[in-house]
Chain A
Amino acid sequence: EPEVTQTPSHQVTQMGQEVILRCVPISNHLYFYWYRQILGQKVEFLVSFYNNEISEKSEIFDDQFSVERPDGSNFTLKIRSTKLEDSAMYFCASMSEGRSPLHFGNGTRLTVT
Chain B
Amino acid sequence: AQSVTQLGSHVSVSEGALVLLRCNYSSSVPPYLFWYVQYPNQGLQLLLKYTTGATLVKGINGFEAEFKKSETSFHLTKPSAHMSDAAEYFCAVNPTGTASKLTFGTGTRLQVTL
Q: Which residues of A contact B92 (CB under 8 A)?
A: 43
A-B contact count (CB 8 A): 57
A7-60, CB < 8 A from B: 31, 33, 35, 41-45, 48, 50, 55-56, 58
Q: What is the minimal beta-carbon distance from B67 to any residue of chain A, in angstroms?
A: 15
Expressed in whole angstroms, the Cα–Cα distance for A34 and B32 within the complex equals 20
B71-114, CB < 8 A from A: 90, 92, 97-107
Report yes or no: B99 in contact with A48, Cβ–Cβ below 8 A: yes
Cβ-closest chain B residue relative to A91: B43
Report yes or no: A55 in contact with B99, Cβ–Cβ below 8 A: yes
Chain A CB within 8 A of B46 CB = yes
Chain B CB within 8 A of A83 CB = no
Report yes or no: B43 in contact with A42, Cβ–Cβ below 8 A: no
Report yes or no: A99 in contact with B32, Cβ–Cβ below 8 A: yes
Expressed in whole angstroms, the Cα–Cα distance for A106 and B44 within the complex equals 7
